[in-house]
Homo-oligomer: A and B are copies of this chain.
Amino acid sequence: MVEAGFRNLVVCHLNHGLRGRASSEDARFVKRLAAHLGLECEIGRVEVKRLIAQRGESMETAARFARHTFFAECATQFKCNRIVLAHHADDQAETVLWNLLRGSNGLKGMRAEQRMTTETGRILVLHRPLLGVRRAELVGWLESHKKLWREDASNALPVAVRNRLRNEAIPLLAEISNRDPVAALVRAAEAFTELQQLEAWALERANVLDPQGRLHLPTLRDLPLVMRRAAIVRYLKEAGVGEIDHDLVARALDLCDSGNSPAVNLPGGGSLRRRGGRLFLQHESN
């Protein structure tokens, strides 16, 4: 970034304290590099193990929470709102495959640009400019420019899962298909993101909400099933309903037919209710 002309940069590094001496050496390396480049440097430290005990979360969730808190603090301290992350195409392929296997997110990958709201309401933008670049290209560039580097072990995927996807699954899929699964997965994730953007546009255009933000039944009934389903899923998501499974969506779709029962109970309380040509969320207290 410095060679590309960026000047006003702050190097931020969070020591997760998970790998003992290797973690401290990572931090020292970052500090020396920043000094060498004449850049500000902020090193944070967190005991992820203590955080896991406190918050009762998985290692990955606790570590991500710690990183995001640290980024937010740095952003406030240095009055920045853009954070540049180093995830590359191989990281992306592993994330996409992992999401596919978990079965809930389609081909969702990391985004090249992602908004994040901190707990104090500040908006940060995460950038991942290397998401389309292969790990081997990065290493090649570093080697040909005689630059040192260290591997960052922090990642949204559980370490054991990532290692097995990288060292076993992706090589096996490459051998079977005689093609590069990383390129295929990265491209498929891009296509999936585009289809999701298209869905957002279509829902906007379908104009299914009334001025009070409730689902307008006559409009909904005129839409094909696939659009009706997408509109209901989005309405439930935006209303903060947590678990939207296949069965809930099917029962919510049945609400469109005035011959059926006028309400569907939602997980976590409240109901989706049909009244006066509208579908809307009703909280338990009402």
- Shortest Cβ distance from residue A194 to the other chain B in the assembled complex, whole angstroms: 5
A177 adjacent to chain B (CB < 8 Å): yes
Q: Check A102 against B202 for contact (C-beta < 8 Å).
A: no
User: Which of B100, B169, B191, B201 has a CB less than 8 Å from the CB of A172?
Assistant: B169
Q: Is the interface of A mostly helix, strand, loop or mixed?
A: helix
Chain B residue with the shortest CB-CB distance to A174:
B101
Q: Write out the residue numbers on chain B whose beta carbons fall within 8 Å of the beta carbon of A183.
A: 103
Q: Check A192 against B227 for contact (C-beta < 8 Å).
A: no
Q: Check A226 against B194 for contact (C-beta < 8 Å).
A: yes
A106 adjacent to chain B (CB < 8 Å): yes
Q: Check A103 against B179 for contact (C-beta < 8 Å).
A: yes
Assess A106 versus B205: contact at CB under 8 Å? Given A168-B176, A172-B168, A177-B101: no
Contact with B along A148-169 (1 / 0, CB 8 A): 0000000000000100110011
User: What is A's interface to B at a CB cutoff of 8 Å?
Assistant: 98, 100-103, 106-107, 161, 164-165, 168-169, 172-173, 176-177, 179, 181, 183-185, 187-188, 191-192, 194-199, 201-202, 205-206, 223-224, 226-227, 229-230
- Shortest Cβ distance from residue A174 to the other chain B in the assembled complex, whole angstroms: 9
Q: Write out the residue numbers on chain B whose beta carbons fall within 8 Å of the beta carbon of A164.
A: 176
Tell me, in angstroms, the Cα distance from A102 to B164 when the chains sit together.
22
Tell me, in angstroms, the Cα distance from A267 to B124 when the chains sit together.
43
Q: Check A195 against B199 for contact (C-beta < 8 Å).
A: yes
Q: Check B161 against A177 for contact (C-beta < 8 Å).
A: yes
- Shortest Cβ distance from residue A96 to the other chain B in the assembled complex, whole angstroms: 9
Chain A to chain B: the 9 pairs with minimum beta-carbon distance, closest first:
A103-B184, A101-B177, A202-B202, A195-B195, A197-B226, A164-B176, A194-B226, A198-B226, A106-B191
Q: With A169-B169, A194-B230 given, can you name 15 additional A-B contacts, CB distance below 8 Å?
A: A100-B100, A101-B173, A101-B184, A103-B183, A107-B188, A107-B192, A164-B176, A168-B172, A194-B229, A195-B196, A197-B226, A198-B202, A201-B223, A201-B226, A202-B202
Chain B residue with the shortest CB-CB distance to A164:
B176
Q: Check B102 against A177 for contact (C-beta < 8 Å).
A: yes
Tell me, in angstroms, the Cα distance from A197 to B224 when the chains sit together.
9
Question: What are 20 contact pairs spanning A and B, CB under 8 A?
Answer: A100-B184, A100-B185, A101-B173, A101-B177, A102-B179, A103-B184, A103-B188, A107-B107, A107-B192, A161-B177, A165-B176, A192-B195, A194-B230, A195-B196, A195-B199, A197-B226, A201-B202, A201-B223, A202-B202, A202-B205
